[in-house]
Structure 1
Amino acid sequence: MRELLSEIFTVQGNGGIVCVIDNIELLENGMATRKMLETLRDKLFNVNGLRWVFCGANGVIHSLAGSPRLTAFLNTPVIKIANVKPSAIIPLIRARLCEYSTDAKEVERELPVALEDLELLYRIVNSNLRDLLALADEFCEYCAQSGKPLRTNSTRREKLERWLEKATGDRYDDLSSRVSQNAWAVLDVAMSGLFQGTFGAADYSSFNQNSTVSFVEATFKKWLSQLEKLGLISKELNDGASDSSEDDSELGKFSRDVFTVTAKGALVHYARRKRRENLSVADDPEWMRPIHHVDTSTPRKANRY
């Protein structure tokens, strides 16, 4: 292989085959990732005609950038790929239908879920495309098993809302006995307009001020650990951050941790809001407002806002 590459790319740096190492975060921490790739350096990364792309979530790539042995193989700054914007979901799904079907328009009419509702689902799962497709597939399977065709958008929306309330409620019920009742306050505040699903351990004071439940910093740390073990939040691996910091204590390392609410956590939070169990007093993001219901005991006509 080395000989073939040398024949094809006679001038070093003049083209190459792009190779991708993806999902690096599966190695679980930045130090393990760094050691693994440093071991591969001389075997793979300096081969003429190969160009490498390292992809991973949770901050592990930033840890790689701090490795002296990999400096020559990494471009800086690291390129951060943002989530797909909600406004791009409908065009993206339509492109997918065109790719995998012979009549995309007919398929779109026959789908049990409207594309506009997929955009809403995308926001509900905290902008996670993979989980959006999985959730949509789960709903389509449910509709297929029921055997009843859905003819109008209003019918599709009503069935989706009923199914989503039950599906998220079941997820919530399965976890309720494994999470301290007051610990839900962390998830509720994290999903408020204040943080919109991403926050740092150093935001303890803001969490305490915007929660109906009072807690101390030690309790906050315990609840974060509890939610993380159940997959409701994920921690960004930021091993490299401690290299240049003076505070290398356990508390100092903890204060630099960054967390993101997972799609699982976002769905559970949706169920809590539908049941009016939210423990946050912070403002809601725009996309959460449609699931708030006006009190129908008032003389005004009930609606959603």
Structure 2
Amino acid sequence: MSIWTDFGFRASPYGTEPIPATEEGDRLLVGRDKPLSSLMATITSSALHPTIEGDNGVGKTSLVSVASYRLHRKFQTGETGQALIPLRSAFQLSASDTADSFAHRVYYEIAQGFIEHEPELRARGIDVPSTAAVDKWLNSPVFTTTGGGGSILGNGAEFTRGTEPGSSGFGEAGFASAVRTWLASAFPDLQAGGFVCVIDNLELLETSKAARTLLESMRDGILAVKGLRWVLCGARGIMRTTASSQRLEGRLREPMDLAALPDVDVEEVMRRRIEVFGVGSDVLAPVGPRGFRHIYELLNRNLRNALKYCEDFAFWLHENQDTATTDDEVFALFEVWLTTQSDAAFTATTLTPKAWEVFDGIVSRGGSISPSDHPDFGFKEMANMRPYIKALEETQLVVSSVDESDKRRRTIGVTSRGWMVNYARSGYKLPERLTS
């Protein structure tokens, strides 16, 4: 039996996965009305693909999910004839990807999207392929290779059948051509709609140069395919430097900066989660709105990390079978647990006085700096500061990107463990908020 049943929930209210593109996801999104409206307007009205820049854990993917859901609902309810359909999951790019390998993954998901949404599209008079045949072709476990072409994909598109979906014998060129034909037929222009596709976590490519190079290679390929509405998301400044590429100017809009959740909405996040996941009226959440605000501020306003610590505490509370019966009692336990966790992290961290000085300097600047800030720390060259940054990385107090040539990016940031250590070092004070 799930521990959440004992707390009065049907599932964890502290899940860190992005909000889904569902009615429930729509209920869970809090405090994002303005960026949500802006993103929806761009998806529906601009030929350029929107991009979103924001810190890790700020909620970029959740914003896109809810925007996609609302646009899809507008089509389903007949409010608009523009059919905007969210795909099942977001894409991520890796250093091993090429424009062709990534496009093949996309075409496979688009084919699955046509299969899933054929009834509603066909009901609204949109030209879609015969997906029963496509479904059998894509999803049957065993195929017999039969060289030559055919038209099982519909719309007259030819293909070569292979032994398994995604293999080289699958006839990649013919398959890609078929999917593009479906898209052009179903979504001949922007107002007809298309599939909303997300490229998430672009910072995983580690450098803006790597991201820019790969996206530039996709410019006239998958990013130009009719019927696909892309949304690109990234942290650490990577979206801003990538979108500024001259070659990508005709494909990508300037990034929307997604800031931390407004202070006034922080507690509402947890109220909404307790309401959505709670069963009955006698729910006593391990971490309620007040506790959530506390850990959210302690971790410098990182939504994802705050939820993770809330879930960790819930497991601790369950394992220790504590008998707290009021919100005040649970909050007091949460505060004690946090001090214990932060003390343990601090005690386990060994650094030189100078390394601690550098760490405190990063914290005082809001938790994120650029390598070009080294003079502010008393170093003539970044090379003189690097050993201390390395020591902080090795103790997992900060994380750095490798792109030190891009001076516009904040590339060195305090981790959630770093903020916990800072909590102990500061005498359990919450980080001061920078005003500029």
TM-score category (smaller protein): 0.7 to 0.9
Partner of 1:274, secondary structure, is coil
2:316 counterpart of 1:142: yes
- How far is 1:196 from its partner? 2.6
* 2:426 corresponding residue in structure 1: 273
Looking at structure 1, the residues matched to 395 and 200 of structure 2 have their Cα atoms a distance apart, in angstroms, of 24
Partners of 2:260 and 2:206 in 1: CA distance: 21
Query: Equivalent of 1:114, from 280, 288, 292?
Result: 288
Q: How does 1:1-305 map to 2 (within 5 A)?
A: 1-11=179-189, 14-76=192-254, 78-103=255-280, 105-107=281-283, 110-176=284-350, 179-192=351-364, 195-207=365-377, 219-235=384-400, 241=406, 258-274=411-427, 285=432
Preserved contact between residue 236 and residue 410 of structure 2 (Cα < 8 Å) = no
CA contact (8 A) 1:234 1:262 kept: yes
Question: Does the residue aligned with 1:16 lie in a helix, a strand or coil?
Answer: strand
Structure 2: where are the runs of 5+ without partners? 1-178
Amino acid at match of 2:360: D
Whichever of the two has the greater Rg, that structure is 2
Q: What is the rounded CA distance, in whole Å, between the counterparts of 1:262 and 1:79 in structure 2?
A: 24
Amino acid at match of 2:417: K
Structure 1, gaps ≥5 residues long: 209-214, 242-252, 277-283, 288-305
C-alpha root-mean-square deviation of aligned residues, in Å? Answer: 2.9
Q: Which deviates more from structure 2 when the two are superposed, residues 92-101 or residues 222-231? A: 222-231
Deviation at 1:187, TM superposition (A): 2.0
Normalization by structure 1: what TM-score?
0.73
Secondary structure in 2 matching 1:285: coil
SS of residue in 1 equivalent to 2:231: strand
| Contact kept? 2:266, 2:293, Cα under 8 Å | yes
Q: Is the 8 A contact 1:238 1:257 kept in 2?
A: no
Conserved 8 A contact 1:34-1:67? yes
Shift of residue 258 of structure 1? Answer: 4.3
User: Is 92-101 or 42-51 further displaced after alignment?
Assistant: 92-101
Give the C-alpha shift of residue 123 in structure 1.
0.6
| Contact 1:45-1:52 within 8 A present in 2 as well | yes
Q: Per-residue CA shift, 1:225-271, capped at 9, x if unaligned?
A: 32234432234676784xxxxxxxxxxx5x97543322221111112
AA paired with 2:215? L
Cα distance per residue 1:82-113 (max 9 Å; x no partner):
1113332211112122222333x532xx1233
Opposite residue 363 of structure 2, the aligned amino acid is: M
Instruction: Provide the secondary structure at the position in 1 that maps to 2:230.
Output: strand
Task: Write the distance in 1 (CA, Å) between the matches of 2:361 and 2:195.
Answer: 46
Q: Are residues 165 and 260 of structure 1, via their aligned partners in 2, closer, same or farther at CA, if it must alter by over 3 Å?
A: same
* Aligned-residue identity in percent: 30
Q: Is the 8 A contact 1:183 1:223 kept in 2?
A: yes
CA distance 1:266–1:34, shift in 2 (3 Å): same
Deviation at 1:12, TM superposition (A): 5.2
Q: For 1:220 and 1:273, locate their aligned partners in 2 and report how far apart those are by CA, in whole Å.
A: 23
Q: What's the offset of the Cα at 1:57?
A: 0.4
How many pairs align?
254
**Cα distance in structure 2, aligned partners of 1:261 and 1:164:** 18
Distance between the aligned counterparts of 1:222 and 1:40, measured in 2? 38
Note the C-alpha offset of 1:30: 1.2
Q: In the TM superposition, what is the alpha-carbon distance from 1:224 to its structure 2 partner?
A: 2.3
- With over 3 angstroms needed to count, the CA separation of the structure-2 counterparts of 1:98 and 1:158, relative to structure 1, is closer
Displacement of 1:7 after TM fit? 1.7
Offset of residue 202 of structure 1: 4.1
So what's the TM-score if we normalise by structure 2?
0.52
